[in-house]
Amino acid sequence: MKLQLTRSNIKMSFGYIGCLMIFLSLGFTGVCQSKSLNNLAVSANYQTGFSLPEYSIFTLITDDYIRAFELSITQQTLGKTEWEQSYNFPAHGLSLYYSNLGNDDILGKELALNYFLKLYLLSKGKFRLYNVTAGGIGYVNKTFDMETNYLNVVVGSHFNLHFNLKFGANYELSKKLSINTGMSFNHFSNANTASPNIGVNTFTGYAGLSYVIGDKEELNDFSFNKHVPKNEFFLFAGVGGKHTQSLSSIYYLTSSLSFEARRSITRGFHLGVGMDVYYDSSVKSELLKDNRVHKGQYDFQTGIHISPALVYNKFSVALYQGVYVGFQEKVGRNTLYNKGVLQFNIYKNITLRAVMKSHLHILDYPEFGVGMKF
């Protein structure tokens, strides 16, 4: 049965949010004098919208709107470093997200814990426009089962990766309280570590309230050294694994080796070019399954890529666009490949990376690796 969005439902939802915010504010009244709570805010948002089906089968098993509730805690930066000022005093924090998925009996519900970064795109008086990018781990209570839940062709594992992107605005009602609203896109899937792995995409509108727990401190404003562009060179090695799309229980090893030359165009934006070598042990079984010829060299793929990256201090996020050159991808006969890369510098020239390789919108496999900067 589809949800009817009546005026009473909307009033009830905002009533719940209001009661929660009052409870939180009363609970923190006795400790608000602590400086550790300054510039710390709690927010509660109610979301409603619809799923974005990637395949037609998804529309056949959904019979409800998406309804979600999100509770978050946010720490505002004060511009104490050049990075904070370069990114216009961003905020960051943790959020707890709870949502139905369009069919409670088949798809169940999801609970996710996410870390997020909030960037302010426009600030004018009491009004702000912002972007939120978040990622974390989600738990789904209903998964595919050949005997008890065979209609769930979407989710094959209880634990999944969760990604969220928001564009929104908030307006200060007082020094402590503000109202926020916007649009939100959510995606979760298991990164092809289990089958099936279609995943769920949702698009919702949201509204809610934010309350500053402690006191608001003044933002810092100081001059810092002008950025000087420079070139850097990296060598990366990664290892991962995947299930095939045939509901096989076998887990196949993958690995990669990459070289990259990168230039820091600005303090926050770097651009790189590089070469990749991939090994995928699932190629043989996938080709033989379709009665296709397999040769040993087909397990390897090589390519070149371009990699724009956003950099914040020791952390960077990049979206690689690559083309296979030399050893081609034989299973799907893809020409292009993509990689989403999260990278963190742990010690001098040593970095850790989490990578998701894909072919356009089709996820291939995740990898974790280490890199060295020369």
Listed by start position, the domains of the chain span 7-212, 231-373
Assign domain 231-373 to its CATH architecture.
Answer: Beta Barrel (2.40)
Residues 306-316 have pLDDT tens digits of 999 999 989 99
Q: Would the pTM count as exceeding 0.85?
A: no
Exposed (0-12), middle (13-18) or buried (19+): which is 94, by Cβ within 10 Å? middle
Q: State the pairing for strand pair 269-280/300-312.
A: antiparallel
Q: What is the CA radius of gyration of the chain?
A: 23
Q: Give the 3-state secondary structure of residue 16.
A: helix
CATH 2.40.160.20, domain 7-212, yes or no? yes
The predicted-structure confidence for 160-208, as pLDDT tens digits, reads as follows 999 999 999 999 999 899 999 999 999 988 877 777 778 888 999 999 9
Q: Which residue has the tokens 């928001």?
A: 166
Rounded to the nearest 10 degrees, how much is the dihedral formed by the CA atoms of 150, 154, 160, 164? -150
pLDDT tens, residue by residue, 246-262:
555 678 999 999 999 99
Please indicate whether the domains covering 7-212 and 231-373 agree at the CATH topology level. Answer: yes
